[in-house]
Amino acid sequence: MNIDWSEIMDLNELLMTGAYWIIMFLLAGLCMIIFEWVTPYNDREELKKGNIAVGIQFAGKLIGLGIITQATITHNVNLIGAGVWFLIGFVIMILGYYLFEWVTPFRVEEEIKRNNIAVAIVAAAVSIFIGFVVAGSIT
């Protein structure tokens, strides 16, 4: 069996994959730091303590950002466009999360800090939902 590797991938595709991975990974890290600034507790400290609710919420944010990342890469012709739309999606995610906090009859962040797993699951689902909405709107 003779494989023509040029039909599978080329060096440019490999380099662009690396560039997208590095830039989007750095942007996601920056966004997670900003998420930590806007919460009334330190995510990393709570995770070290074993706060499962914080872990669930944190995972939901990462999944939501991952969904946005995939859409921005798929629907933009260059890395700058993908990065800009990723940041727009992140801002929408924060706004949506604050809207969720506003409409609930309790303080979501306080419940999550108290390790309320039920609230954390819903909060994670909200982040994932927002990720899908943003991804679906990027064309």
Tell me the C-alpha distance between 87 and 68, whole Å.
Answer: 9
- Please say if the pLDDT value at position 99 is more than 80: yes
pLDDT of residue 109: 92
- pLDDT averaged over the chain? 91
Q: Which two tokens stand for residue 31?
A: 């966004």
With vertex at residue 14, the alpha carbon angle to CA 74 and CA 70, rounded to the nearest 5 degrees, is: 20
- Please say if the pLDDT value at position 6 is more than 80: no
Query: 78 vs 17, 81, 82, 84, 90, CA distance in Å?
Result: 11, 6, 6, 10, 18
The single-letter code of the amino acid at 67 is I
- Please say if the pLDDT value at position 58 is more than 90: yes
pLDDT of residue 67: 96
CB 119 within 8 A of CB 108: yes
